Structure 1
Amino acid sequence: MDRLFQSSTLRVLLVLLVILAVAPLFFPSTFYYRIFTLISINAIVVIGLVILLGYAGQISLGHAGFVGLGAYASAIGPAHLGLPPLLALVLGAALSGAIAWFVGRPILKLRGLYLAVVTLGFGILVHMVLVNEAWLTGGPDGMAVENLGLVALVKSFGIKAKTAQVWYVFAGLILLFAAWVALNLRDSPTGRALRSLRDSEVAARTVGVNVARYKLIAFIISAVYASVGGSLLALFNRFVTPDVASFIHSVELVTMSVLGGAASVLGGVAGSALLTSLPQVLAALHDFETVILGLIMMGVAIFLPAGLLPSLTKRFGRVGQ
């Protein structure tokens, strides 16, 4: 039992569980349930980037494209095909994984920043399609998303809860599952192979690691994470626009990962919490919001180069990654 509780995986999951359980005690209104739900959804996408960027050392500058695919799968599936929302979510994740395989397979055999360039183009292409194909996506104005029915499901068990509270629990549970998968992947033989790529592709190839294969695995997994996060975002907001697949959103997601700690699952959650909640905190300073956010990002990059959470835990005591 002592050995079990010494597991870094269990420590991280316990930290997340405690935060999710305790945070509502300090919420002055249901609005804060919404903010924390958005943090959980963004963190799911960012954990996928932790696998790609932090574990495998590969950069994607168009990851919002996969977020957009997932978001619109949950909108188009029920609206045009009559699919249940959850089935549309699963099919969107499968489609994103298939596209990631198709896009990444020829590119990830090469070295350098080819993946970053290709994903940048992919993200721009997805955004253009979502904007221009109005007959399918609603165009720039976006489209409504069918209700997932979580509140009705909860009430069927005799539990009275508001929509924001139900979504807070639902997104939190999926976040815990996403973190558990990523942490177990990190400690698996596949995870060790991915981390060897980050340190040195030449050394990894020398000891028999199939570099292209493991790069592709990381890319596909991160695309599935992004798609699931996009579907949850669309279902939560009950509306989706092409902005969900914009280049700016891709940059925001990468920034969340890097700020929190690119190789840390808990750091990815911290980065998501920081960039998701900061605009709300700085709402009173709207004219200076972008400047303050930029200064914070520069400060973390300069003084905490390993990322916010890993740098702080290294200085003040290890909590676990």
Structure 2
Amino acid sequence: MLTRIPPRVRALLILSILILIAPMLFPSSFYYRIGTLIFINSIAVIGLVILIGYAGQISLGHAGFSGIGAYACALAPTHLGLPPFLSLILGAVISGLLAWFVGRPILRLKGHYLAVATLGLGMLISMVLNNEAQFTGGPDGMMVASLGLTKGLEGLFDVNLKTSVVWYWFAGVMVLLGAWIALNLYNSPTGRVLRSVHDSEIAAKTVGADVARYKLVAFVISAVYASIAGSMLALFNRFITPDIASFLHSVELVTMTVLGGAGSVLGGIAGATLLTALPQALTVFHEYEHVMLGLIMMLVMIFMRDGLLPTLRKTLTRRAIA
């Protein structure tokens, strides 16, 4: 029965069911917060799935765009008088424009040269956020207004996102929307070109694809995803520091993407779930928590080289055929 459903519809259906039934397994309201953080990280990771998994481009500075989105929600209400919801949109627009402007020269690079260039971009954004203390609060961070859709959309909705429970459902809807866009992109003409660029840029050029343009499209889309995730994290925590734009956060996002399966939207979400929830589960090991986390990550990458979800899917398929 499920095999007759189109793959993208099936993926969205599975994701929707998981979002709906997960709260039934929560032992306390604290887990709504963990679920919300999983969804927020998943949004950033879906953007990296488009960039890394679809287009085959690497970025080690994507947390910088998350920082732009986060600080847009912190600064725009104070200095521009914008409501938080419009500040989120402003951050996404700024991130997209910056990605377009910077991506044109750096996406001509390949391999580790591209990785270093994107790393430099992320570090530059992080340095600005740390050093411009009169605007950003410096390393100490700053408070962020709560997201009330009543204010943001002029009374169209009467929802004030203050509790973890409400945030869980709001973030769940957002991750479904992000997954829907990415899954539809996969089999679209643009998605097919991106995947051809991933396989071979020379072959893509041979059939007439504007490789530079499509790489830039993937970079801009992924930057917008990262910005929205950063804005949501700032609005959820109601406090933000420059750590959100740090190199370590960029590596964390890339690790989530690769660990779950870079070419799969559901795989990316699985990776985000694992690396967000697992540290909470490993607290029972106290000082060995990080050792256990590192060991699990190593074992997954050694024995599941394609990523967590694609490897499990292949294993189940082989058993079904056998």
TM over 0.5: yes
Distance 1:3 1:204 in 2: 34
Map 1:59-138 onto structure 2 (within 5 A): 59-138=58-137
Structure-2 change in CA distance of 1:94 and 1:54 (3 Å): same
Amino acid of the structure 1 residue aligned with 2:196:
S
Distance 1:147 1:73 in 2: 13
On the 8 A contact 2:149/2:158 being kept in 1, the answer is: no
Structure 1 residue 317, shift from structure 2 partner: 3.3
Report the secondary structure of 1:243's partner residue: helix
Structure 1 residue 162, shift from structure 2 partner: 7.2
Match of 1:194 in 2: 194
Number of residue pairs matched? Answer: 316
Distance 1:297 1:164 in 2: 29
Distance 2:79 2:109 in 1: 39
Distance 1:51 1:172 in 2: 19
Distance 1:297 1:197 in 2: 29
Measured against aligned partners, the alpha-carbon deviations of 1:197-223 in whole angstroms (never above 9, x if no partner) come to: 111111111111111111100000000
On the 8 A contact 1:48/1:221 being kept in 2, the answer is: yes
Match of 1:28 in 2: 27
Match of 2:250 in 1: 250
Distance 1:314 1:261 in 2: 12
* 2:314 is aligned with 1:314: yes
Report the secondary structure of 2:262's partner residue: coil
Report the secondary structure of 1:283's partner residue: helix
Amino acid of the structure 2 residue aligned with 1:47:
I
Amino acid of the structure 2 residue aligned with 1:131:
N
Match of 2:259 in 1: 259
Amino acid of the structure 2 residue aligned with 1:84:
P
Structure 1 residue 157, shift from structure 2 partner: 8.2
On the 8 A contact 1:16/1:176 being kept in 2, the answer is: yes
Measured against aligned partners, the alpha-carbon deviations of 1:124-174 in whole angstroms (never above 9, x if no partner) come to: 111111111111101111000001125999xx9899997111100000000
Report the secondary structure of 2:59's partner residue: coil
Distance 1:69 1:162 in 2: 22
Structure 1 residue 243, shift from structure 2 partner: 0.4
State the TM-score, normalizing by the size of structure 2: 0.93
Amino acid of the structure 2 residue aligned with 1:254:
V
Match of 1:304 in 2: 304
Structure 1 residue 298, shift from structure 2 partner: 1.0
Structure 1 residue 284, shift from structure 2 partner: 1.8
Distance 2:2 2:207 in 1: 31
> Structure 1 unaligned runs (5+)?
none
Structure-2 change in CA distance of 1:160 and 1:228 (3 Å): closer
On the 8 A contact 1:66/1:227 being kept in 2, the answer is: yes
Measured against aligned partners, the alpha-carbon deviations of 1:253-311 in whole angstroms (never above 9, x if no partner) come to: 00000000000000000000000001100112131111111111111111100000000
Structure 1 residue 53, shift from structure 2 partner: 0.3
Distance 1:158 1:83 in 2: 18
Distance 1:78 1:152 in 2: 12
Structure-2 change in CA distance of 1:305 and 1:130 (3 Å): same
Distance 2:157 2:64 in 1: 37
Match of 1:236 in 2: 236
State the TM-score, normalizing by the size of structure 1: 0.94
Structure-2 change in CA distance of 1:202 and 1:157 (3 Å): closer
Structure-2 change in CA distance of 1:109 and 1:255 (3 Å): same
Fraction of identical pairs, as percent: 65
Match of 2:52 in 1: 53
Distance 1:111 1:167 in 2: 39
> Structure 2 unaligned runs (5+)?
none
On the 8 A contact 1:104/1:115 being kept in 2, the answer is: no
Map 1:2-13 onto structure 2 (within 5 A): 6-13=5-12
Report the secondary structure of 1:262's partner residue: coil
Distance 1:3 1:296 in 2: 32
